[in-house]
């Protein structure tokens, strides 16, 4: 009764209203297997809830999105468990049996007033930093590539808005990426397969600096 089929263009079928402009930060981390879950997904959400509720006046809108995917075989994916993460899984699971949890936090930008937008942007920066320092390390979380903000980039919802990430934060982001991914192997592959940088962009180039020539 609750099933059926619909055929049409992807732009007509795959639509989702995100509720307007917003800041988003999303991370992924392994949570065991279906037979032997580690509970990391629940512990992470408990920590985020603790951060929100402990009286610092953090305006955290709903929803906090949480989803789950199978492990990726791509070494550059946040959903690809590292060797260390695999060894730490309570299940001692095979790579293809591991599942990951993704968690996204948001703050909406419902106004065009620049002062109000800056206050929301600054508040989101505080929210994200608290999650980064207190929640991410608990589970070895890795950021969604498209949701890593860099200073001076046009990643702000309105171009010209102040970025909440400083040069110091950029270095931290680069250090996290270098510790998490095989960047040297990735750079070699880019030099071989994309020597002119056709498939690159300023965002990735900044995060992975120096970019391949």
pLDDT digits (tens, 9 = 90+) for 162-178: 444 567 778 888 888 99
**pLDDT, tens digit, 9 for 90 and up, residues 109-125:** 989 999 999 999 989 98
Q: What pTM was estimated for this model as a whole?
A: 0.80
Residue corresponding to tokens 């060797």: 83
pLDDT value at position 135?
Answer: 96
Per-residue model confidence (pLDDT) at position 161: 42
Q: Which residues of the chain have pLDDT under 70?
A: 1-2, 14-19, 88-96, 151-166, 210-213
Q: Terminal CA-to-CA distance of the chain, rounded, Å? A: 57
Compute CA distances 177 → 53, 101, 168, 181, whole Å.
30, 19, 14, 6
Give the model's pLDDT for residue 160. Answer: 40
Query: Under 8 Å CB-to-CB from 78, ≥6 apart: which residues?
Result: 27, 28, 100, 142, 143, 144, 145
| pLDDT attached to residue 211 | 37
**Per-residue pLDDT, 158:** 43
CA distance 51 to 60: 10
Tokens of 69: 């995917």
Predicted local confidence at residue 148, as pLDDT = 87
Question: What is the per-residue pLDDT for 16?
Answer: 61
């Amino acid at each position: 009764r609750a099933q059926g089929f619909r055929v049409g263009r992807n732009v007509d079928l795959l639509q989702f209203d995100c509720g307007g402009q917003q800041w988003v930060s999303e991370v992924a981390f392994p949570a065991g297997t279906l037979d032997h879950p580690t509970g990391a997904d629940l512990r992470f959400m408990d920590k985020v809830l603790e951060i929100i509720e402990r009286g610092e006046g953090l305006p955290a809108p709903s929803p906090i999105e949480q989803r789950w995917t199978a492990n990726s075989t791509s070494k550059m994916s946040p959903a690809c468990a590292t060797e260390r993460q695999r060894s730490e899984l309570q299940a001692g699971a095979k790579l293809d049996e591991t599942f990951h949890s993704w968690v996204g936090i948001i703050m909406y930008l419902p106004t065009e007033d620049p002062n109000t937008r800056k206050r929301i942007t600054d508040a989101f920066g505080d929210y994200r930093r608290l999650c980064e320092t207190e929640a991410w390390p608990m589970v070895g979380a890795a950021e969604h590539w498209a949701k890593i903000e860099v200073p001076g980039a046009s990643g702000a919802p309105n171009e010209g808005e102040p970025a909440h990430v400083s040069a110091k934060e950029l270095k931290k982001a680069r250090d996290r990426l270098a510790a998490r991914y095989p960047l040297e192997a990735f750079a070699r592959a880019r030099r071989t397969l994309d020597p002119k940088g056709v498939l690159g962009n300023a965002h990735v180039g900044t995060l992975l600096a120096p970019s391949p020539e």
